[in-house]
Structures are given as structure tokens and as C-alpha cells.
């Protein structure tokens, strides 16, 4: 029981990180119907900005205010990357009404470009970071096995839940949220109704990139190492989570992330850590066979 509970805590923590990255995929897909494969590299940039900022802050790095400052800096810089990415790689194609395959190829190209950009500027070696948030407490004890929950895990849970609540309010109650929902329904009609579609799409990329920065910071605090390639696998898994939950659905992205994190954690603990990715992707295949739209996805309606 204690071992199971420990894996549950670890799986939920990992799933929340996947869920945050998956939100960026699902937001962009929900509005313009494309997969931004460069989103994983934005997450990598957020993680590196966090490492650089913590290194610069030095002894102040463990102070709560310093963590908030690093979080805001990472969100700001990655938001700029997200905005630039949309303006350079996707908007020109949208203006020219390019085929749906063109933005997909552009996204893959930008993913490779950003990956090499990070490698050139930061090097190919892993970047370690000294523990910034230390300690935790014992949740449960059984037969000498202590179920631990670290303060970093608590920070990840609280931050993720707060961001999810904030985004739910943003989508439901704000002008930007209404514009995003309008674009999701029918982008041409939204434009005819006076909604600034370009601005809405740019802000969606900015918000998605800021969420990726939060995930990058949390991974940096949780694992203590980053490298230029972490965005590739994390991006693929987050995309899997978005598809599993129903791409285009914000709750679905978080649900898919949690399922993926739990599957990985329990499979690693009870079976084989080498095949945890195989197990996660096998679950995805099984779900899509019986429910092609994902767990919370809606079937697309053919517009006439």
C-alpha cells in the first residue's frame, strides 16, 4: 500500500508536468487546427532560462521571491519565442492559405531549428542545477517504508492547479477567451464578426509558450538537470497526452497528462522502466481504437 501510494504521488506529479505542456498543443490545435511540433523546444528553452537565472541569482536562488522572479522571467522570454514563432513560421502560411501539410512541415523545421539553436548556444552536455527547494514530509508509513512528498512536488501540484483554474476562468470569462472560442468554432466567421483573429492566435501561442516555461521550470526544480534534447521526448509525450485526452480540449489535455504520468510511474515501479514509454503509447493506441476522438474530445462536425 505504501509503495503504491508513493508511485501515485510520483505519477500525478509527472502527469501534471505533461498536462501543462499538452495545454500548449491543444490550445493551438483548437484554434487553427495544426500541431505545433516546436512546442517541445519552447519548453526546453524555458528550462534553460530557469537554469541560467538560478545560476545568476546564486545564493538567493532558494528564496521564494527568487523562484517567483525566475518563473516570471522564464514565462516572459518563452512567450517572446512563442510570439516570434507564430509570426515567422505560421502566419505567412496562413495568409497564403497554404495546404494543411505546409504548417506541419514548418513546425517540424522550427522544432529542429530551435533544438540546434539551444545546442549551439548552451552546448550538448547536460546542465546540472543544485537543489533549490529542499525537504518534504512523510505522508504515510508502513512496514518501515516511508511515503514521502517533497516540497517541490507540492509546488508542482499547487502551481498546476492554480494555472488550470486561471485558464478555465480566462477561457470562460474574459474577452480573449470568448475570441478564442469563436475562432475555434469558425475562424472565418469570427473574423467577419470583428474579432482580431491574428491577435487572438498570437496570444494563444504566447500563453502556450508561457505554460511550457512553467513546465520547464518545474522539471528543472524536480530533476535538477536539463539538456538540449529534453523537449523532444517531453513534447512527444505531451502531444500523446493531448491526443489521449481529446486534442482541442483543455480538461482533456490535463486528464491525458495525468493518465500518461500514472502509467509511466506504475509501469516503472511494478514492471520494467525500460518499457515505460511502450506502455504509455500502447494505452494511447488502445484508447484511440475504441474512441478515436480521445477521452474528452468531440467529433468534428462537417461545416456546409
Question: What does the pLDDT profile of the chain (304 residues) look like in tens digits?
Answer: 788 999 999 999 999 998 888 888 888 888 877 888 888 899 999 999 999 998 888 766 667 888 888 999 999 999 999 999 999 988 888 888 788 788 889 989 999 999 999 999 988 888 888 888 888 888 788 888 888 889 999 999 999 999 888 888 888 889 988 988 888 888 888 888 888 998 999 999 999 899 889 988 998 888 888 988 888 888 888 888 888 888 778 888 889 889 989 998 998 888 888 888 888 788 878 887 888 888 887 766 555 4
The answer to whether residue 238 is domain-embedded is no
Question: Which cell numbers in the block locate residue 230?
Answer: 529534453
Question: Which cell numbers in the block locate residue 61?
Answer: 536562488
The answer to whether residue 208 is domain-embedded is yes
The answer to whether residue 236 is domain-embedded is no
The answer to whether residue 288 is domain-embedded is no
Cα distances (angstroms) measured from residue 233 to each of 5, 206, 236, 245, 277: 26, 22, 5, 18, 10
The answer to whether residue 102 is domain-embedded is yes
Question: Which cell numbers in the block locate residue 153?
Answer: 512536488
Cα separation, 15 vs 23, in Å, equals 12
pLDDT at 77: 93
Cα separation, 124 vs 178, in Å, equals 43
Domain that holds residue 89: 17-230
- Read off the pTM: 0.89
Bridge partner list, 142: 145
The answer to whether residue 302 is domain-embedded is no
Domains held by the chain: number? 1
The answer to whether residue 282 is domain-embedded is no
The answer to whether residue 181 is domain-embedded is yes
Amino acid at each position: 500500500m505504501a509503495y503504491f501510494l508513493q508511485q501515485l504521488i510520483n505519477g500525478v506529479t509527472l502527469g501534471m508536468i505533461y498536462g501543462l505542456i499538452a495545454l500548449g498543443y491543444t490550445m493551438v490545435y483548437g484554434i487553427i487546427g495544426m500541431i505545433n511540433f516546436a512546442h517541445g523546444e519552447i519548453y526546453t528553452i524555458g528550462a534553460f532560462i530557469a537554469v541560467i537565472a538560478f545560476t545568476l541569482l546564486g545564493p538567493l536562488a532558494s528564496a521564494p521571491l527568487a523562484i517567483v522572479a525566475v518563473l516570471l522571467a522564464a514565462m516572459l522570454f518563452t512567450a517572446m519565442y512563442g510570439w516570434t514563432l507564430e509570426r515567422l513560421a505560421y502566419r505567412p502560411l496562413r495568409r497564403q492559405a497554404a495546404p494543411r501539410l505546409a504548417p506541419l512541415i514548418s513546425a517540424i523545421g522550427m522544432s529542429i531549428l530551435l533544438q540546434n539553436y539551444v545546442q549551439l548556444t548552451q552546448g550538448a552536455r547536460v546542465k546540472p542545477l543544485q537543489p533549490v527547494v529542499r525537504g518534504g514530509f512523510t505522508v504515510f508509513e508502513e512496514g518501515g517504508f516511508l511515503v514521502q512528498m517533497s516540497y517541490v512536488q507540492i509546488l508542482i501540484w499547487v502551481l498546476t492547479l492554480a494555472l488550470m483554474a486561471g485558464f478555465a476562468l480566462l477561457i470562460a470569462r474574459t474577452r480573449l477567451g470568448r475570441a478564442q472560442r469563436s475562432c475555434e468554432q469558425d475562424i472565418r466567421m469570427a473574423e467577419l464578426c470583428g474579432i482580431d483573429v491574428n491577435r487572438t492566435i498570437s496570444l494563444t501561442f504566447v500563453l502556450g509558450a508561457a505554460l511550457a516555461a512553467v513546465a520547464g521550470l518545474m522539471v528543472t526544480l524536480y530533476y535538477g538537470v536539463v539538456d538540449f534534447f529534453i523537449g523532444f521526448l517531453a513534447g512527444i509525450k505531451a502531444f500523446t497526452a493531448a491526443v489521449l485526452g481529446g486534442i482541442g480540449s483543455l480538461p482533456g489535455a490535463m486528464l491525458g497528462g495525468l493518465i500518461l504520468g500514472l502509467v509511466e510511474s506504475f509501469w516503472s515501479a511494478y514492471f520494467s522502466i525500460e518499457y515505460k514509454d511502450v506502455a504509455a503509447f500502447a494505452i494511447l493506441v488502445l484508447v484511440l481504437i475504441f474512441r478515436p476522438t480521445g477521452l474528452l474530445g468531440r467529433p468534428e462536425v462537417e461545416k456546409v
